[in-house]
């Protein structure tokens, strides 16, 4: 059964390139991004893991821990890491799960038989400090992910978690946010001292509250 938004992210214990972890304990009070790649020594995956390593500081600023997974073993991961580092000119700085028994892949429904009977699709799960799934994305094996977009989504999710706002199409950090419909305009004016701009009774903007 596939996981849905708001579900508790399944816990697991796994070997990684940075030692054994217990997922929920490892997350602690952080957000998490768990993402799968189809196989080691593949071109798209090599660029993705390198990009994630380059952006690790950006994830850390947002209190997000990143964790990759594939159905290859530790020996394979460790032999592949030098390629990732060379291609992206970066040191690998986050763990890759060795999931040879497919425990994590099956818990998170990462193998889609009609796409590939063996390899994981490019799944992404953003998980909150409450261990609930905040976002899921699934890409085909041939399409590399946009990690700048994932950082943007995290900004939006965290803004919503901490303030009574949503974000409009193409929103980016610093843009005006949308007052959620459950708050009346009268209450919104009190809640958001930077101002409320009403376009429609159900569409009200306010400057980003945490800026």
The residues, any chain, with a CB within 8 Å of residue 18's CB and separated by 6 or more, are: 94, 95
What is the bridge-based pairing of β-strands 19-22 and 203-206? unpaired
Q: How many residues does the chain have?
A: 211
Q: Which of 69-73, 79-83, 170-174 is the least confident region? A: 69-73
Determine the Cα–Cα distance for residues 95 and 82; give it in Å rounded to an integer: 14
pLDDT band, very low/low/confident/very high, at 2 (cuts 50, 70, 90): confident
3-class SS of residue 193: coil
Average of pLDDT values for 84-109? 93
Catalytic residue positions? 45
pLDDT at residue 117 above 50?
no
Average of pLDDT values for 56-70? 96
Candidate ranges 21-25, 39-43, 110-114; pick with highest mean pLDDT: 21-25
Q: Whose CA is closest to 74, among 108, 40, 42?
A: 40
- Predicted local distance difference test score (pLDDT) of residue 32: 98
Average pLDDT, the chain: 92
Determine the Cα–Cα distance for residues 172 and 166; give it in Å rounded to an integer: 12
- Predicted local distance difference test score (pLDDT) of residue 1: 56
Assessment of whether the complete model's pTM goes beyond 0.85: yes
Determine the Cα–Cα distance for residues 139 and 122; give it in Å rounded to an integer: 5
Q: Which residue has the tokens 């009574």?
A: 164
203: left (phi over 0), alpha (psi -120 to 50) or beta: beta
pLDDT at residue 176 above 90?
yes
pLDDT at residue 101 above 90?
no
Average of pLDDT values for 131-158? 93
**Phi, psi for 57 (deg, rounded to 5):** -60, -35
């Amino acid at each position: 059964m596939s996981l849905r938004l708001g579900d508790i992210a399944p816990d697991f214990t796994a070997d990684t390139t940075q030692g054994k972890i217990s997922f929920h304990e490892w997350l602690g009070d952080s957000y998490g991004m768990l993402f799968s790649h189809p196989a080691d020594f593949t071109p798209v995956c090599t660029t993705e893991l390198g990009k994630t390593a380059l952006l690790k500081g950006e994830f850390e600023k947002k209190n997000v821990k990143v964790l990759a997974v594939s159905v290859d073993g530790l020996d394979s991961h460790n032999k592949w890491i030098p390629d990732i580092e060379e291609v992206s000119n970066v040191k690998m700085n986050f763990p890759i799960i060795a999931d040879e028994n497919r425990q994590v892949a099956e818990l998170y429904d990462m193998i889609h038989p009609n796409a590939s009977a063996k390899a994981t699709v490019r799944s992404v799960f953003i998980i909150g400090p409450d261990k609930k799934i905040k976002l899921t994305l699934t890409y085909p094996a041939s399409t590399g992910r946009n990690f700048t977009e994932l950082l943007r989504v995290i900004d939006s999710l965290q803004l919503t978690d901490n303030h009574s706002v949503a974000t409009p199409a193409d929103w980016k950090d610093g843009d005006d946010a949308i007052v959620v419909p459950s708050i009346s305009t009268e209450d919104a004016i009190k809640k958001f001292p930077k101002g409320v701009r009403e376009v429609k009774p159900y569409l009200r903007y306010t400057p980003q509250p945490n800026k």
